[in-house]
Amino acid sequence: MLLVRRLQIIALTLFLVAVFSGFAWSDENPHHSFHVDVVGRGRPMILIPGLSSSPDTWTTTVARYRDRYECHVLTLAGFVGRPPIVEPLIATVRKELAAYIRDRHLDRPVIVGHSLGGTLAMAVAIDHPDLVGPLVIVDMVPFLGGTVFQARTADEVKPRIDAMRTGINAMSDAQWKEYAKSGQSVKYMITAAADLKTIVEWSVASDRQTVTGVLADIYGLDLRDEVAQIKSPVLVLGTWRGVHDQVMDLAKFELTPQMVVFSFALQYAKLPRLHFAMSENARHFIMFDDASWFFGELDSFLKDPDASVRTRGFDSK
């Protein structure tokens, strides 16, 4: 009997080790490039916020879908108080998110990414086209340096990136904090004053070196050719009001919605299975500015992604 009891204990121990080894990717491990909060039940959905952004970006999204989807909400290292990592954030998340999907045995998860999160969603789908399910890219393009700096290639944008790094590095910590508090970098991204206050607080709470490194990397990352490797159906949601106001203030140039749609169309020309829609009213944080439109587009896409991508949608005004 004693031997049987010992064998039972050993068997139980091995079982518990096997179970908990599936969770060996502890979300509190400071070496990892993101923390995950899991909420809900159903098909897995990974939600990735943007630069310096909180997982609260997705609060209303999780509330809407948690009864149908198991929501894996990321907070990226170095943002909103999370510890930074030494390694380049984009490249590290790109690798570790694929490992997370495999380790958790997530079956072709939906990935929803806002801004930087959209870049990461595309990158993982490029690297592992059979690992992921439908993608939702919220107000992001494959080559940000092409739109922000009007560069034709990644090489062309390098001097602008170097100048940006030099400018940021020249700031003292106090100057950087005052710049973040001023809201100058985000004031065109959202409409309501209370929401602007929120994302300014996120910026202030984010690590300066992480923000600088990600900005440099994302401006120089050109995925326009590589998106051809993505097999999943993709919904891209765009905006124009914020960039219109910014261009008008800085350059006194009237940027039309048609110009913005054309820019998105060029950037995504090689993505095979795509549906694009542009909000008439929202700025960059669409889920805050125009939740009704945002969820209408998501609901329609998630109901039948394959049907959605039968039309590319670039005839939008």
The pLDDT confidence band at residue 144, using thresholds 50, 70 and 90, is very high
The pLDDT confidence band at residue 1, using thresholds 50, 70 and 90, is very low
Q: How far apart are CA 84 and CA 208, in angstroms?
A: 10
pTM value is 0.89
Asked if residue 13 is part of any domain, the answer here is: no
H-run or E-run covering 212? helix 208-220
Q: How far apart are CA 21 and CA 288, in angstroms?
A: 38
H-run or E-run covering 198? helix 193-204
Asked if residue 196 is part of any domain, the answer here is: yes
The pLDDT confidence band at residue 4, using thresholds 50, 70 and 90, is very low
Plot region of 115 (φ>0 → left; ψ -120 to 50 → alpha; else → beta): left
Asked if residue 6 is part of any domain, the answer here is: no
Are the C-beta atoms of 50 and 57 separated by less than 8 Å?
A: yes
Domain total in the chain: 1
Q: How far apart are CA 129 and CA 131, in angstroms?
A: 6
Asked if residue 1 is part of any domain, the answer here is: no
Asked if residue 15 is part of any domain, the answer here is: no
H-run or E-run covering 261? helix 257-267
Q: How far apart are CA 258 and CA 262, in angstroms?
A: 6
Q: How far apart are CA 69 and CA 119, in angstroms?
A: 22
Q: Would you call 208 exposed, middle or buried from its count of C-beta atoms within 10 A (0-12, 13-18, 19+)?
A: middle
Asked if residue 166 is part of any domain, the answer here is: yes
pLDDT of residue 16: 32
CATH of the domain at 164: 3.40.50.1820
Q: What is the pLDDT of residues 68-102, one digit of tens each?
A: 999 999 999 999 999 999 999 999 999 999 999 99
Give the domain range for residue 296.
24-308
H-run or E-run covering 250? helix 241-251
Asked if residue 230 is part of any domain, the answer here is: yes
Asked if residue 292 is part of any domain, the answer here is: yes
Q: What is the pLDDT of residues 35-57, one digit of tens each?
A: 999 999 999 999 999 999 999 99
